[in-house]
Amino acid sequence: MDFIDTGPGVPPDRLQNSFYPMISGRASGTGLGLSSTQSIIGQHRGLVECESEPGKTDFIIFLPLEETS
């Protein structure tokens, strides 16, 4: 599943740390959104990745599928 934003993008120096708590690119941000998202997805054995360039930021969520018998 992809979530794409067409904003200014995440600066490369901030991209690597964007999933840590208390890291925010907004003056009024708490820095908890991405870290909470990563925690919840991780509890389901999933993964969140981010690719960003000016004009496009893509958050990709991978969740494992279980076979039902």
The answer to whether residues 41 and 19 touch, using CB atoms and an 8 Å cutoff, is no
State the Rg of the chain over Cα.
Answer: 14
pTM of the model: 0.72
Count the residues in the chain: 69
pLDDT band at 57 (very low <50, low <70, confident <90, very high): very high
Q: What pLDDT shows up at residue 16? A: 81
The predicted-structure confidence for 11-51, as pLDDT tens digits, reads as follows 888 888 777 777 666 677 767 778 888 999 999 999 999 99
Burial class (CB in 10 A: 0-12, 13-18, 19+), 42: exposed
Sequence spans of domains, the chain = 2-62
CATH topology of domain 2-62: Heat Shock Protein 90 (3.30.565)
